A and B are shown apart, each in its own frame.
Chain A
Amino acid sequence: MTESTQLIKNTRLIDPGQNIDAELDILIINGFISQIGKNIQPVEGVRLIDASGLIASPGFIDLHCHLREPGFEQKETIATGAAAALHGGYTTICCMPNTDPPLDNEATVNYVKITASNTAPYINILPIGCITKKRMGVELADLFELANSGCVGFSDDGNPVSNSRLMFTAMQYISSFGLIVIDHCEDLDLSRGGQMHDGWVAARLGLKGIPAAAEESIVARDIALAEATGVRLHLTHISTKGSVELIRNAKKHGVNVTADVTPHHLTLSHKRIIQKNSDSLSEIAYDTNAKVNPPLRTEEDIEALIDGIKDGTITAVATDHAPHTTEDKACEFDTAASGISGFETSAAVLLSLVHKQKLSLNTLIKCLTTGPASILNQPGISGTLKIDQPADLVLIDPDKDSLITPSMLVSKGKNNPWIGQVLKGMIMATFYHGHIAYINDELRDGK
């Protein structure tokens, strides 16, 4: 027997999809889960992995990331983005279509799929197609062709469809495929020129604000359109208290709407732009690594987002991994690109909420596994570790400290606001179909 048989010993398996939270062993044969139980005896030739003290979870699923290829390979490639995702514990990632050319036609989608299978074979990369041609918001893309070529949802992401009639038609059309419409909710007239959340910090820094209403007005519109069309609507990177309330209310009234939130919107407020690591307001940072769209909001919004996760209004956490080059960020705040390169710090940042007892570990893992899986509703993407399913799983040390540095990030994007900080919690290994796609040095060396 070879490497194709692996036995993970003494791990704490948390699999919300099967209501499991217990000390167990996991036997993997030929890439599939063969057995889960206590005291599984190693057979000869098995690769033993001592995971005592570690948590095992189904591999994470990310509904929203930017791999930048084709078109922006200086920021990220499918290969480097996939490697970063695996370092972050992700085994399934959905890539947004704002590439160049954008994913608005079958040929470009095929390019992504072929490049993914050639350069990043140990991860599921699921493309999201454009709603409109070239993401211009003028005419619909060939949506049926995109669905047939393997897109798992539709979005114009950063250029949301402003024309409500066009969005209505898109939702009507897509409702017959059963796929999701993913919207980045932003009223572009309200947000025009905005650099950060419209509040006291923006006033302090003399930066133009993006009001909460810029998001909430489109959340409200989309909910009305989803109710009218019956499409499965997914609102991504929700950032305000008002959005959470609108979605909660819509769900109560039976609208087919889901939502995700990012690790940064759950943990950082707009104050992060005024103060880097200290509490002194005078140390104005204008830190472009904290410039992101939607912007970091207020402490009150953060509490509302956490409450939204707790009561099931928000059922997924998505990274919105948005790598940029140093040149894109080392410049004036208002010319800097928006976005955070977040794959590799996601788990540790989210675990900080568990350490602070704001979220339970079980709820958090649900938002990284079964939550996004059921939003996607794709065959083979279950977010659980059932017997005979592909062994996509991750081993986590929830208490291990690591200092975040640019060089430890394998993503090309070093635009991460936690650089220079110590985060508690580390991904120790990521298995894709039983293959060890990432393993931390210490675990590999059996330390």
Chain B
Amino acid sequence: MTTKTSKADQIGEDSLNKVTISCWRHRNILDLDDFSQDEISLVFEIADSMIDILSRKVKKVPTLRGKTIATMFYEPSTRTRSSFEIAAKYLSADTVSLDAAKSSVAKGESLIDSLRTLQALKVDVIIIRHPSSGAPYTAAEHLNIPIINAGDGCHAHPSQGLLDLYTMKRNLGSLKGRKVVIIGDILHSRVARSFIWGTRFFEVNLVLCGPPPLIPEGFKDMIGRLELNHVTVEHNLNKAVLNADVIMPLRIQKERQQSGLIPSIREYVQQYQLDQNRLYKAKPGVLIMHPGPVNEGLEITREVAYSSKSLIEQQVTNGVAIRMALLYLVAGGENK
């Protein structure tokens, strides 16, 4: 035990070799579109060490001791917020959490003003979730401290994209030639968008499946314009799941029905629910993922969501490791 020093211990001692992080060039984490393959690999390598830490009895390491990390959420969230806060705490950072929806917005304070105040309070990193696409970009333009995007409107959710990709890689090893299907409201999904960017180096065959109003022409045009050659669209779920290695239904928002984009939840369930029958068309060992929270009986049946093939709980654990890795890279201090 004493002879072998794990990467986890190195991180614990805050002495990760500078060379290994030399490819890291981000001040902020806004989306995965500007991540290189090396950077994604680096995040995964550090996340592996974090997984080791998470499996210990005492999970706290002193890496970010003395750092303060603020979460500023303009949208309700339990999972992502607690995942980031727990990640920060396991690294010994202090956390402060602001429920922006209740405080500053109610007083009419602007986004930039609120964030500048946090910066003046000398926090080291701001983690922001906001219902407006692009809000973290506006924030980053006006601030000097690192911003981590924890989800902006329909645009991006980079930590989720990384944890989804990481979970697939840990279970499948190489992703080359694997068929991955995402089902649901692709148009309004920041999870799908970040996942599309994250998977582009891994030679997967990514199939997007949902009704045409939720994967409209503009979205298909984007796939072509940006040469996202690993992505295809299939509106028919029975065809989409054929021989799939991984299937990830997205949470369907009830508002989509209210805004007339789908005729009814009943009809959505008929066409797009992932149930056991549809699973038979996929590869025998197909893996099930879901970004959560799950609407049981809506986009996925309960039996599928909690089957032995489900990675949903692994995704949650991996999410903490990925967020620890991101906080380490952004606030670690070695590479500033």
Contact = CB atoms under 8 A, between A and B. Distances in A.
Nearest to B152: A206
Nearest to A197: B218
B219 A203 contact: yes
A211 B235 CA distance: 22
Contact of A200 (B110, B133, B156, B225): B225
A200 B130 contact: no
Interface string A192-223: 00000011111111111100000000000000
B33 interface: yes
Interface stretch (B16-24, B86-94, B134-142, B314-322): B134-142
Interface string B97-132: 000000000000011100000000000000000101
Given A202-B218, A205-B155, A331 B137 contact: no
Interface residues of A, number: 24
Contacts of B33: 281-282, 284
Contact of A206 (B30, B133, B138): B133
A286 interface: yes
A276 to B, nearest CB: 11
Contacts of A333: 132-135, 138
A332 B115 CA distance: 13
B130 A203 contact: no
Contacts of A199: 218, 221
B133 A207 contact: yes
A361 B41 CA distance: 56
Contacts of B224: 200
B190 A281 contact: no
Contacts of B138: 286, 330-333
Interface string A311-334: 000000000000000010011111
B193 interface: yes
Contacts, number: 79
A388 to B, nearest CB: 55
Given A199-B221, A203-B218, A334 B137 contact: no
B193 A332 contact: no
Contacts of A209: 218
B153 interface: yes
B134 A286 contact: yes
B34 A282 contact: yes
A331 B111 CA distance: 7
| Residue among A201, A209, A284, A327 having the largest count of chain B Cβ atoms under 10 Å | A284
A207 B156 CA distance: 11
A286 B30 CA distance: 13
B222 interface: yes
B58 interface: no
Interface of B: 30-31, 33-34, 110-112, 130, 132-135, 137-138, 142, 152-156, 187-188, 190, 193, 216, 218-219, 221-222, 224-226
22 contacts: A200-B221, A200-B225, A200-B226, A203-B219, A203-B221, A203-B222, A204-B222, A205-B134, A206-B133, A206-B154, A206-B193, A208-B154, A281-B33, A284-B31, A285-B137, A286-B137, A331-B110, A333-B132, A333-B135, A334-B132, A334-B133, A335-B132
Given A200-B221, A281-B33, A281-B226, 7 more contacts: A205-B133, A207-B153, A282-B34, A285-B137, A286-B133, A332-B138, A334-B132
